[in-house]
Chains A and B, each alone.
Chain A
């Protein structure tokens, strides 16, 4: 944890994301103007899908960390919980914002309250927001950690629900174009940009989570030092 690998991951991931956007803007092919209301807005997909992938990684880390803390009182588990909730919130907001931009351009409305995918993902993001803001407003202690870990564990049920939602209830959000249950396919160069973006977002989010774990560790050590100083 003391090395510089989180910074390397962060800056590599960031450079990868910038490259993804350049490729998406400049290199990826355009979609048919007959198939979309707003063909240019479709390019937001190269941001939206990789950030959703990174969000699901972050929520999985949140679940693992919450479970490790709740059942084993494991210090690493709590650090994973903190890192997963912060990364989940950031990625969740990126997904929701980019989705709203696309929705406004393509559907004429940024949000559809009847769509299961939109609402389950929105709830996941709100859960991450509750965990991040709640933790900052509460004194650190076993009860606080137990409460937030419980939300981290049970909230994870929304992840598989989000994944299967467009496979079962296709209301407004487009169906899958890859993986099991996919209804369509995408062009090879489009797929390349999406996969490149997913790799870049994975590196960035891994760097952020490692950095967050390091910060949590240092904050705990500072608190210990403060107590020792207070005791004289």
Chain B
């Protein structure tokens, strides 16, 4: 029975870790999305002007 208790604790710890990771990623995405929408609507930047480093390296 001890083995099943340890197993349950391990399962709970691992699924909790995945839940925290997933929740963190989703809230981070929503927060950046809100900031970006506010900034882009203020200065009128289009979505295709995104990766400055990639466009610089192609220009080189």
- Which A residues lie at the B interface, using CB under 8 A? 7, 10, 14, 17-18, 21, 24-25, 38-41, 43-44, 47, 73-75, 78, 90, 94, 97-98, 101, 105, 140-142, 145, 204, 208, 211-212, 214-215, 217-229
Contacts and interface: CB of A to CB of B under 8 A. Distances in A.
19 contacts: A14-B19, A14-B22, A17-B18, A39-B3, A40-B6, A41-B3, A41-B6, A75-B55, A78-B53, A78-B54, A94-B14, A140-B53, A142-B56, A218-B36, A223-B52, A225-B43, A227-B52, A229-B39, A229-B43
B11 A21 contact: yes
Contacts of B21: 90, 208
Given A14-B19, A41-B6, A94-B14, A222 B39 contact: yes
Contacts of B15: 17-18, 21
Interface in B9-53: 10-11, 14-15, 17-19, 21-22, 25-26, 28-29, 32-33, 35-36, 39-40, 43, 45, 47, 49-53
Interface of B: 3-4, 6-8, 10-11, 14-15, 17-19, 21-22, 25-26, 28-29, 32-33, 35-36, 39-40, 43, 45, 47, 49-58, 60
Given A214-B29, A228-B43, A222 B36 contact: yes
A142 B40 contact: no
Contacts of B3: 38-41, 105
B50 A224 contact: yes
Nearest to B54: A75
A204 B18 contact: yes
Nearest to B4: A40
B12 to A, nearest CB: 9
Given A73-B57, A97-B14, A218 B32 contact: yes
Given A47-B14, A215-B25, A228 B56 contact: no
A73 B54 contact: yes
Contacts of A94: 14, 17-18
B38 to A, nearest CB: 10
